[in-house]
Structure 1
Amino acid sequence: MTRRILIVEDEPKIAALLTDYLTANGFEAHHLDHGDRVHPWLADHHVDLILMDVMLPGKDGLTLCRELLRGGQPPPIILLTAKVEEIDRLLGLELGADDYICKPFSPREVVARVRTILRRVAREHETTRVRTQDIELDEHGWRAFARGQDLQLTAVEFQLLRVMMMAPGRIFSRNQLMDHMYQDHRIVSERTVDSHVKKLRHKLSEVWPRRTIVHSVYSVGYKYEPTPLDDDDCL
């Protein structure tokens, strides 16, 4: 499985260097150059690790660490910093970063640190999975598995599925779901919730074409209540 790395760095040369090295070592690398773009990107994409500069236009790296931690269990974060003072490094770690690397750095060292953290996280995930008869949630990795298949959910889709799975049969209003879906408390319309539910259902239907996992409750909202398995679904 290819691991996806998000690089948040406003210096084009550094971003390009990291992208090239990560790609050459088998990772899928994506780049953002502005702190304000991190939350919207994470809402639509799953990521295994974030490499993030401390000094960014818009929101800085430390603010983003704080917000991601407050919003739930964030992906692992490695801070890239030119600030070598101990107080800055410790502050970053206290706000939720897993590691830091001081500039200038060796790109080989960055790749090695990424691999080390991903191995550690993989070991931790083995003991932090929520299993039901139908779906398995990896709460640290923000992944959902159905019949052993990674559903490739975005962060918003994972939160949406998780909150409903924790209370099977309970009907959630769109406003209640919105409170869990977005870490930055943005204002969105009810149609946005419907759009994410539609995408989630599509991914679930690729595993169980004849089953309904998430039900609509007319004029109220949605609930998680999988219909029974038939013989074909058990294959």
Structure 2
Amino acid sequence: MPRCWVNRIKLDFRGRRDMSGVTTIIIARDDLSVPGVTRKPTGGGLQAAEDRNLFDVLDERVPDVLVLDCRGPTRNGLPAIEKIRERTSVPLLVICEADDPLQGKYLMNGATDCLQSPFDILIFNSMLQDIVQRSRQGHDDALNRLLPMSFSGINFDPRDNSLQYGANVLKLTTSESRLIVHFARKPGLICSRQELSEVLYGDRRPVSDRAIDAIIVRLRKKLGDVSNGTADGLIKTEFRLGYMFTSRVDDVMPV
């Protein structure tokens, strides 16, 4: 992996409408350190490159894609992804070993895609193209869901993936937040597992029913935890069909 914290890559988007320009990526380790960071000058020359915390770097610049290197022996990828998803919804590409047994869980916990090592730079470039394309196509939709909403006494704010019930506040992962938004648009209607898979990963990603079920289990637990148990039944299982959101949903108007 390059020892630089920001890579500006000219991607070849020929034949893809509105997909030109330079893409900025940040490469981090699974301990949330970013290697080889050169600080911006503050009156003098550039400071020597050093390792820095990922979130300090994100405070200075928001990338188009965040790359997380999970090939180290510590296997800290899952907690790293959860912490990242609590802070940002930037597309996340995970680099992992081909035999890493946690690849499915990386996706379930909020990774956009996984790239197995060793890999060809052309494949890396192609995956970046696809991730950026999907992100830009979903930009307008992301803006449309910024309005906070309320259901069963819970206030949900998609801008920071937070649930609030009285004094209780709890953060969702990006995947959990996307499911809440989708359910909120279709209260009382059955959402199939395939439909929910497409919401999270697009129509080209095959995701098992077990993966979707695992995210629903986590989401149910968080809804119950934040509401002291009053929202345990908000997501109802419809046998062999999918899931249904059972609450009325209201917009929360800004004060």
TM-score, normalization: structure 1?
0.51
C-alpha change, 1:20 and 1:197, in structure 2 (3 Å) is closer
Q: Which residue of 2 aligns with 1:173?
A: 192
Task: Classify 1:21/1:185 alpha carbon distance in 2 versus 1 (closer, same or farther; 3 Å).
Answer: closer
Provide the rounded CA distance (Å) in 2 between the counterparts of 1:64 and 1:172: 25
| Cross-structure match for 1:48 | 88
Q: Deviations over 1:16-55 (max 9, x none)?
A: 53318829x9xxxx97249xx9xxx58x933337599xxx
Structure number with the higher strand fraction is 2
Q: Does 1:218 align with 2:239?
A: yes
Structure 1 position 139 matched with structure 2 position 158? yes
| Aligned mate of 2:229, from 198, 204, 209 | 209
Structure with greater helix percent: 1
The answer to whether the Cα contact below 8 Å between 1:45 and 1:154 also exists between their aligned partners in 2 is yes
1:66 aligned partner, one-letter code = Q
Please give the per-residue CA displacement for 1:148-203, whole angstroms capped at 9, x wherever unaligned. Answer: 54432111111112111222111111111111122584211111111110110111
Specify whether residues 74 and 164 from structure 1 end up closer, same or farther in structure 2 by C-alpha distance, changes over 3 A only.
Answer: closer
Shift of 1:209: 1.9
5 Å-filtered alignment, 1:19-38, equals 19=53, 22=56, 32-33=68-69
Q: Deviations over 1:104-126 (max 9, x none)?
A: xxxxxxxxxxxxxxxxxxxxx9x
Q: Percent identity?
A: 21
Q: Is the 8 A contact 2:91 2:135 kept in 1?
A: no
Q: State the AA in 2 paired with 1:22.
A: D
Q: Aligned pair 1:9/2:27, yes or no? A: yes
| 8 A Cα contact 2:234 2:245, kept in partner | yes
SS at match of 1:13: strand
Equivalent residue, structure 2, for 1:115: none
With over 3 angstroms needed to count, the CA separation of the structure-2 counterparts of 1:63 and 1:18, relative to structure 1, is farther
Structure 2 Cα separation of the partners of residues 21 and 205 of structure 1: 29
Which portions of structure 1, spanning 4 or more consecutive aligned residues, are displaced by more than 6 angstroms? none
- CA deviation digits over 1:101-147, x for unaligned, max 9? xxxxxxxxxxxxxxxxxxxxxxxx9x732334433332333x13131
Provide the C-alpha distance between the structure 2 equivalents of 1:159 and 1:49, rounded to a whole number of angstroms. Answer: 10
What corresponds to 2:174 in structure 1?
155
| TM norm structure 2 | 0.48
User: Structure 2: 5+ residue runs without aligned partners?
Assistant: 1-24, 29-33, 39-49, 60-65, 71-76, 93-120, 249-255
CA distance in 2, matches of 1:33, 1:74: 29
